[in-house]
């Protein structure tokens, strides 16, 4: 006879973005075990601030990417939980329970779910007793195994499918342009693109950091819908990641400056949990994204997420859609969960901050796009604060990137294990958007600036290197 699933679980399950604008998960437990089909239900409550859904202008919404990790008791090996998927991925089809006013959608790979508003609205999202069907049998868990389970939630923004323009027609360094006319270049599909110094081809200012040939169809062009992380990776997110991998992986991935955490593995504590993390190498970014079942963004997607679909570019514009650049002054509660700034829309180092700010510190329910430094779709801190790692199309390694998602698992040394992702030797990257200590280089913060359009990092990191991930929409 099969026995009921016994379990223990963390009473406080910190999400990957748990302290970035106060997304929290609680009341997490397993219920409704079905021993015949080897599944159980993960119950949880979730809430986060500054949520929205609109059907005008941007026609988009925010939400959370929610996934679970588990380990068998007396094991240090954390594994990724498989969430049930039945086409078309709706809650009813998949056996989930979605609270009123919410939508739960499962992607085909079952690595997690998206949860978001089901109707137009704005304010704090707050839902209780949502349930996800976890197919524990698929993951090698027996009916009588004791397991510990952790639930993670990452705030995301849905950027719908749309044509858009690369480049602004301005004078940004090595910006994208047409092969003959120095004007912005339209992206109207995910098809392959002819590149070179000919009319109708994709080229760059000065012909720098680009190539002559064909950009493959598989490389993410930004035309498709994508869910992008609303904020840069925070200290708390990275600490949650480190605390939920085994010790050998942790030793290799604990590469950033030690002032950002205290304690010992697996009970590390972030010094400033809400602050965007620094010293993130491209290798570190790939590891946390693979572990989260997300993926890196391409440099095309970076421009789409900032500029928006079907928008006429403004020459030299920043992520908030104009050329108004005001550094941050007059903080309140700097370095805490309630950090705000009275003056400014971009953290670039001319003011008094000179450290990364709290993720989402400039956003409230009433701030407009310029004041909050938000992109067209509502993604935060894409200009300034921390440099954004983005997969470059300028070298063969970057061009081989095909947009596949992480699978939640890492190699034994803690590195990503995905084919066709950028090289862990450092090739295939660009960095975009500038950092908190780049006051002397205002052009770095422009959407279309490609000063570092091809950046061979060789795994190095700096205090102003951060990043975020995304997932292709379904």
- Both 182 and 225 in one domain: the answer is no
Say if residue 344 is in the same domain as residue 387. Answer: yes
Cα 295 from chain centroid (whole Å): 8
Same domain, 289 and 324: yes
pLDDT tens track for 239-298: 999 999 999 999 888 865 655 788 999 999 999 999 999 988 899 999 999 999 999 999
Query: Which helix (H) or strand (E) covers residue 304, if one does?
Result: helix 299-307
Query: Are residues 141 and 70 in contact, defined by beta-carbon separation less than 8 angstroms?
Result: yes
Contact, 361 vs 380, CB < 8 A? no
Question: Are 332 and 199 part of one and the same domain?
Answer: no
**How many CB atoms neighbour CB 43 within 10 A?**
18
Share of the chain above pLDDT 70, in %: 93
| 462 — pLDDT class (breaks 50, 70, 90) | confident
55-59, 98-102, 174-178: lowest mean pLDDT where?
A: 55-59
Position 67 in a domain = yes
Strand pairing class (61-72; 113-117): antiparallel
Decide if 1 is inside a domain: no
- Tell me, yes or no, whether 249 lies in a domain: yes
CA–CA gap between residue 369 and residue 459 (Å, rounded): 34
What does the pLDDT read at residue 1?
31
Lowest pLDDT segment from 1-5, 89-93, 384-388:
1-5
Mean pLDDT in the chain?
92
Predicted pLDDT of residue 459: 64
Question: Are residues 321 and 226 part of one domain?
Answer: yes
CATH number at residue 346: 3.90.1580
| Distance of alpha carbon 204 from the chain centroid | 27
3-state class (DSSP) for residue 140: coil
Q: Are residues 107 and 203 in the same domain?
A: no
Position 257 in a domain: yes
Task: Tell me, yes or no, whether 201 and 253 share the same domain.
Answer: no
Question: Are 197 and 225 within one domain?
Answer: no
* β-sheet with 213-215: strand ranges across: 176-178, 202-204, 193-195, 213-215
My answer on whether 146 and 255 are in the same domain is no
362-381 pLDDT, tens per residue?
Answer: 987 778 899 999 999 999 99
Cβ atoms of 390 and 304 within 8 Å: the answer is no
Domain count along the chain: 3
> What pLDDT shows up at residue 13?
33
Closest residue by Cα to residue 134 from 126, 125, 145, 122: 145
| Size of the chain in residues | 474
Predicted pLDDT at 396:
95
- Same domain membership, residue 65 and residue 28: yes
Interatomic CA distance for residues 90 and 159, integer angstroms: 20
Mapped onto helix, strand or coil, the DSSP state of residue 348 is coil
Could you say which of 141, 173, 208 is where a domain stops?
Answer: 208
Classify residue 251 as exposed, middle or buried by CB count within 10 Å of its CB (0-12, 13-18, 19+).
Answer: middle
Q: Structural domain of residue 84, as residue ranges?
A: 6-157
| 15 touches 292 (CB < 8 A) | no
| Structure confidence at residue 365 (pLDDT) | 72
* Cβ pair 275, 48 in contact under 8 A: no
Judged on CB neighbours under 10 Å (0-12, 13-18, 19+), 405 is buried
pLDDT tens digits, residue range 211-252? Answer: 999 999 999 999 999 999 999 999 999 999 999 999 999 988
Instruction: Look at residue 377 and tell me if it is in a domain.
Output: yes
- Is residue 329 one of the residues assigned to a domain? yes
The helices-and-strands tally (H runs, E runs) of the chain is: 7, 23
What's the whole-number mean pLDDT along residues 468-472? 98
Q: What is the rounded end-to-end Cα distance, in angstroms, of the chain?
A: 40
Mean pLDDT of 36-46: 97
176, 208, 240: which is the final residue of a domain? 208
> Distance between CA atoms of 287 and 230, rounded to whole angstroms?
19
- Region 50-54: mean pLDDT is 95
Q: What is the pLDDT of residue 255?
A: 66
Q: What is the pLDDT of residue 9?
A: 35
**CA 46 – CA 126 distance, rounded (Å):** 6
| Residue with more model confidence, 367 or 341 | 341
203 and 328 together in one domain: no
Are 204 and 237 in the same domain?
A: no
pLDDT over threshold 90, residue 322: yes
Residue 344 lies in a domain: yes
Point out the domain boundary residue: 129, 157, 185: 157
DSSP string, 60-82: -EEEEEEEEEEEETT----EEPP
Residue 15: pLDDT over 70: no
Q: What is d(CA 175, CA 182) in angstroms, rounded to the nearest whole number? A: 9
Assess if residue 130 is contained within a domain: yes
Residues 417-444, mean pLDDT to the nearest whole number: 92
How confident is the model at residue 18, as a pLDDT?
A: 37
Residue 137, Cβ density class (10 Å: 0-12 exposed, 13-18 middle, ≥19 buried): middle
Bond preceding residue 266 cis, omega within 30 of 0 = yes
Mention every residue, 6+ apart, whose C-beta is less than 8 A from residue 172. Answer: 205, 316, 443, 446, 447, 448, 449, 450
């Amino acid at each position: 006879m099969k026995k009921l699933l016994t379990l223990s679980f963390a009473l406080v399950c910190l999400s990957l973005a748990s302290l970035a604008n106060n997304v929290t998960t609680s009341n997490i437990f397993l219920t409704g075990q079905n021993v015949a089909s080897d599944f159980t239900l993960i119950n949880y409550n979730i809430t986060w601030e500054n949520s929205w859904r609109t059907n005008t202008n941007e026609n988009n919404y925010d939400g959370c990417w929610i996934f679970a990790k588990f380990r068998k008791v007396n094991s240090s090996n954390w594994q990724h939980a498989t969430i049930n998927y039945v086409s078309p991925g709706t809650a009813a089809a998949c056996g989930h329970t979605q609270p009123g006013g919410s939508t739960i959608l499962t992607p085909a790979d079952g690595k997690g779910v998206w949860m978001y508003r089901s109707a137009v609205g704005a304010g704090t999202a707050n839902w209780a007793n949502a349930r996800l069907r976890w197919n524990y049998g698929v993951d090698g868990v027996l009916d009588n195994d004791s397991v510990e389970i952790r639930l993670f939630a990452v705030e995301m923004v849905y950027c719908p499918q749309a044509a858009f323009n690369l480049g602004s027609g301005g004078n940004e360094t090595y910006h994208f342009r047409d092969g003959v006319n120095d004007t912005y270049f339209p992206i109207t599909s995910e098809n392959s693109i002819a590149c070179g110094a000919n009319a109708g081809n994709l080229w760059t200012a000065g012909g720098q950091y680009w190539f002559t040939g064909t950009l493959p169809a598989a490389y993410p062009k930004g035309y498709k819908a994508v869910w992008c992380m609303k904020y840069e990776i925070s200290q708390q997110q990275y600490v949650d990641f480190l605390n939920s991998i085994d010790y050998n992986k942790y030793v290799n991935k604990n590469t950033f400056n030690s002032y950002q955490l205290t304690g010992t593995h697996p009970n590390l504590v972030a010094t400033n949990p809400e602050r965007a993390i620094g010293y993130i190498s491209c290798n570190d970014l790939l590891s946390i994204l693979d572990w989260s079942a997300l993926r890196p963004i391409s440099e095309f997607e970076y421009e789409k997420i900032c500029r928006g679909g079907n928008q006429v570019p403004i020459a030299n514009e920043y992520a908030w859609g104009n050329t108004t650049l005001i550094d941050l002054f007059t903080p309140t509660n700097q370095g805490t969960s309630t950090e705000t700034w009275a003056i400014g829309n971009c953290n670039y180092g001319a003011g008094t901050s000179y450290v990364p700010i709290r993720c989402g510190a400039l956003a409230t329910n009433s701030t407009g796009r310029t004041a909050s430094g938000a992109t067209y779709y509502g993604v935060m801190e894409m200009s300034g604060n921390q440099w954004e790692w983005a997969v470059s199309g300028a070298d063969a390694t970057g061009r081989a990137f095909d947009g596949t998602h992480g699978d939640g698992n890492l190699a034994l040394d803690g590195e990503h294990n995905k084919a066709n992702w950028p090289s862990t030797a450092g090739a295939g990257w660009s960095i975009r958007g500038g950092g908190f200590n780049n006051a002397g280089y205002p052009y770095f913060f422009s959407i279309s600036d490609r000063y570092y359009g091809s950046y061979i990092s060789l795994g190095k990191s700096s205090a102003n290197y951060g990043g975020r991930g995304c997932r292709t929409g379904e």
